[in-house]
């Protein structure tokens, strides 16, 4: 007999009315993304609570986009007609202990799901720096955490339910539909409305987070692999000044990683004396617990706590992925630009992600280093700087994060993604008339 448990999520967001415009519930007239740097083309936002409502909406409407939790920094989720939100889908969470999978409504946030899983003794393999994002929105853009052996968050997907442009429900599974599945999981919102996602889970685990300050850049040059493999998940933060990494965050998995002593130095870096924010001047109040204090996976893998504002708030973000075997060269290439980069930067984060098989994943067939930039919110300055960084990283075939800011052309993107044509075929099959197409997709993966 199968051990399946149906769990309820509690959330205020679940109380949204049936296919009613959500505009009244929005804080301001204008509909913007989380960071406030991007104003969407319309405020027509509808919310579906059931699969039937999604199907009816898809059949009726000629053109729209699904909006997740609005954490992307560009127009990937934008529409000039209307939005559908599935954040209030009323499905239960279906935990299958035999197969160690959990099936969730697509709009659930990791921060809602994680404690429910933990209560039943399960964990996800990884989380992003923040738990505030929706599962479907995160998987659509190959959102990632860190760890040399950890694939991005979409690598946990084993199946998904998608409503295509005709209103038909398609079930895709990793084992049954290998090829289509690999094309569809990282879909940039271009294939349809994802209504359910099944994720691989594993027995819960505890973690300890250690932070070190001032890692000399020379140590990184000589010991990159050792440093990035020092824990289950390792993040390096730098402002590119003074030839040093300002903070190293090592997230150790208890029972698997070697225990460390909070008082020991780390490749020349000194142990932090208190919890730190990645931007050292900011209060660590919104950051997850450090100083080697043990805690559950979901309270250590993200950098920021669920109930608090993640990162700095008023910011922009960009991120580029290079092959891990070129990691040091790529880091040094950016370091050369420090005098141009630093004035506009809050902080850079360096993370590793294991390779995967998803056609549009920046880690497609490439174990990667991700070089992330949290920028001050000065788009004219950042827009000038991005091509300079992209030129410097071009020899490493750097692929951009789809949900962040970049200026690469469709031709360049096509050269970076060997399965781009195959993805376009998949779009033709699921969305022949361009119902889910928007300006962003036109400027990136689906040029006219």
Ligand X SMILES: Cc1cc2nc3c(=O)[nH]c(=O)nc-3n(C[C@H](O)[C@H](O)[C@H](O)COP(=O)(O)OP(=O)(O)OC[C@H]3O[C@@H](n4cnc5c(N)ncnc54)[C@H](O)[C@@H]3O)c2cc1C
The residues of the shown chain that bind ligand X, judged by CB under 6 A, are: 34-35, 65-72, 76-77, 86, 106, 128-130, 133-134, 136-138, 140-141, 143-144, 188-189, 193-194, 310-311, 401, 403
- Please state, in angstroms and rounded to a whole number, the distance separating the CA atoms of residues 399 and 368: 10
- Please state, in angstroms and rounded to a whole number, the distance separating the CA atoms of residues 422 and 369: 25
By beta-carbon proximity to ligand X, the closer residue of 117 and 133 is 133
Residue with tokens 């119902």: 435
- Residues in the chain, overall count: 448
Q: How far is the CB of 110 from ligand X (least distance, A)?
A: 10
Q: How far is the CB of 78 from ligand X (least distance, A)?
A: 8
Task: Give me the DSSP letters along 122-148.
Answer: EE-S---S-S-SBHHHHHHTT-----T
Query: Please, are residues 116 and 77 in contact by the beta-carbon 8 Å criterion?
Result: no
Q: How far apart are the first and last CA of the chain?
A: 52
Task: Give me the DSSP letters along 187-243.
Answer: -TT-S-EEEEEEEE-EE--EEEEEEEEEEEHHHHHHHHHHHHTSSSEEEEEE-S-TT
Q: How far is the CB of 315 from ligand X (least distance, A)?
A: 7
Q: How far is the CB of 109 from ligand X (least distance, A)?
A: 8
Q: How far is the CB of 134 from ligand X (least distance, A)?
A: 4
By beta-carbon proximity to ligand X, the closer residue of 130 and 327 is 130
Residue with tokens 């990494």: 245
Number of helices followed by number of strands (H, E) in the chain: 11, 20
By beta-carbon proximity to ligand X, the closer residue of 173 and 262 is 173
Q: How far is the CB of 155 from ligand X (least distance, A)?
A: 12
By beta-carbon proximity to ligand X, the closer residue of 51 and 389 is 51
By beta-carbon proximity to ligand X, the closer residue of 219 and 441 is 441
Q: How far is the CB of 234 from ligand X (least distance, A)?
A: 14
Q: How far is the CB of 1 from ligand X (least distance, A)?
A: 32
Query: Please, are residues 174 and 429 in contact by the beta-carbon 8 Å criterion?
Result: no
By beta-carbon proximity to ligand X, the closer residue of 76 and 445 is 76
By beta-carbon proximity to ligand X, the closer residue of 219 and 345 is 345
Which letter does DSSP use for residue 250 in this model?
A: E
- C-alpha separations of 114 from 49, 93, 102, 108 in Å: 22, 11, 11, 10
By beta-carbon proximity to ligand X, the closer residue of 134 and 219 is 134
By beta-carbon proximity to ligand X, the closer residue of 101 and 129 is 129
Q: Which residue is nearest to ligand X (CB)?
A: 137
Task: Tokens for 87, please give them.
Answer: 């954040």
What are the percentages of helix, strand and coil residues in the chain, rounded to 5? 30, 25, 45
Q: How far is the CB of 83 from ligand X (least distance, A)?
A: 8
CA-based max dimension of the chain: 63
């Amino acid at each position: 007999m199968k051990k399946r448990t149906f769990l309820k999520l509690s959330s205020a967001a679940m109380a949204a009315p049936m296919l009613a415009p959500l505009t009244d519930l929005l804080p301001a007239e204008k509909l913007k993304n989380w960071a406030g740097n991007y104003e969407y083309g319309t405020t027509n936002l509808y919310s579906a609570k059931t699969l039937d409502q999604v199907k009816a909406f898809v059949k009726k409407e000629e053109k729209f986009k699904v909006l997740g939790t609005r954490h992307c920094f560009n127009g990937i989720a934008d529409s000039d007609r209307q939005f559908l939100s599935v954040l209030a889908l009323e499905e239960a969470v279906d935990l299958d202990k035999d197969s160690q999978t959990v099936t969730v409504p697509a709009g659930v946030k990791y921060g809602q799901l994680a404690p429910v899983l933990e209560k039943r003794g399960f964990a996800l393999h990884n989380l992003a720096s923040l738990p505030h994002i929706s599962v479907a929105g995160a998987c659509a853009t190959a959102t990632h955490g860190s760890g040399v052996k950890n694939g991005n968050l979409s690598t946990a997907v084993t199946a998904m339910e998608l409503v295509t442009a005709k209103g038909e429900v398609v079930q895709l599974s990793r084992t049954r539909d290998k090829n289509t599945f690999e094309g569809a999981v990282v879909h940039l919102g271009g294939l349809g409305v994802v209504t359910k996602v099944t994720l691989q889970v594993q027995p819960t685990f505890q973690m300890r987070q250690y932070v070190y300050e001032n890692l000399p850049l020379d140590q990184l040059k000589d010991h990159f692999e050792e440093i990035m493999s020092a824990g289950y998940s390792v993040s390096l933060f730098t402002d590119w000044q003074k030839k040093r990494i300002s903070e190293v965050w090592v997230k150790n998995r208890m029972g698997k990683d070697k225990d460390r002593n909070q008082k020991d130095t780390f490749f020349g870096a000194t142990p932090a004396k208190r919890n730190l924010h990645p931007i050292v001047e900011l209060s660590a109040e919104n950051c997850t617990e450090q100083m080697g204090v043990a805690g559950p996976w979901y309270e250590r893998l993200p950098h920021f706590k669920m109930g608090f504002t993640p990162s700095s708030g008023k910011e922009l973000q960009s991120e580029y992925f290079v092959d891990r075997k070129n990691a040091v060269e790529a880091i040094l290439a950016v370091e050369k630009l420090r005098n141009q980069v630093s004035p506009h930067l809050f902080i850079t984060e360096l993370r590793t992600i294991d390779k995967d098989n998803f056609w549009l994943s920046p880690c497609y067939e490439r174990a990667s280093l991700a070089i992330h930039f949290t920028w001050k919110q000065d788009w004219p300055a950042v827009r000038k700087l991005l091509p300079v960084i992209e030129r410097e990283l071009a020899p490493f075939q750097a692929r951009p994060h789809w949900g962040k800011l970049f200026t690469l052309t469709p031709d360049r993107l096509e050269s970076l993604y060997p399965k781009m044509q195959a993805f376009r075929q998949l779009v033709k099959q699921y969305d022949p008339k361009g119902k889910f197409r928007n300006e962003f997709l036109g400027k990136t993966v689906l040029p006219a």
